[in-house]
Amino acid sequence: MRTANYSELRNNLKHYLDGVINDSEPLLVHRSGSESVVVISLDEYNSIKETEYIMKSPAMMDIIRKGKEEIEKGKGKPVKIEELWK
């Protein structure tokens, strides 16, 4: 994870924000006398929120667990990703 202090971030904002997007790497910003913060891309944030939503659903987690058990027992079958969108 890249790090910067508040002054570095302010002086090189475009550079740091481009790095967050282009490298898909969060940025830890240290703030003197205050709590640090993490800057992430919108795609990363949306992914985290989607995972959080799925994990809050007991029914969805049950489906995922059952699927995992089936795969571990050899009951799964290979699927080509492109076939899912037909």
Structural domain boundaries in the chain: 2-40, 43-75
pTM given for the model: 0.69
Tell me the average pLDDT across 37-63.
95
Q: 18 with 45: CB under 8 angstroms?
A: no
Determine the average pLDDT of the residues in 40-61: 95
Checking phi first, is residue 4 left (phi over 0); if not, alpha (psi -120 to 50) or beta?
beta
Q: What is the pLDDT of residue 35?
A: 96
Asked if 30 and 36 touch (Cβ cutoff 8 Å), the reply is yes
Question: Where does the pLDDT of residue 54 fall: very low under 50, low under 70, confident under 90, or very high at 90 and above?
Answer: very high
Other CB atoms closer than 10 Å to residue 12's CB: what's the count?
13
Q: Residues with Cβ < 8 Å from 78, sequence gap 6 or more?
A: none
Q: Please tell me the CATH superfamily of domain 2-40, with its number.
A: YefM-like domain (3.40.1620.10)
59-86 pLDDT, tens digit each? 999 999 999 999 999 988 888 888 888 7
- HSE at residue 2, side-chain half, CA atoms within 13 A, is 18
DSSP 65: H
| Mean pLDDT on 28-56 | 95
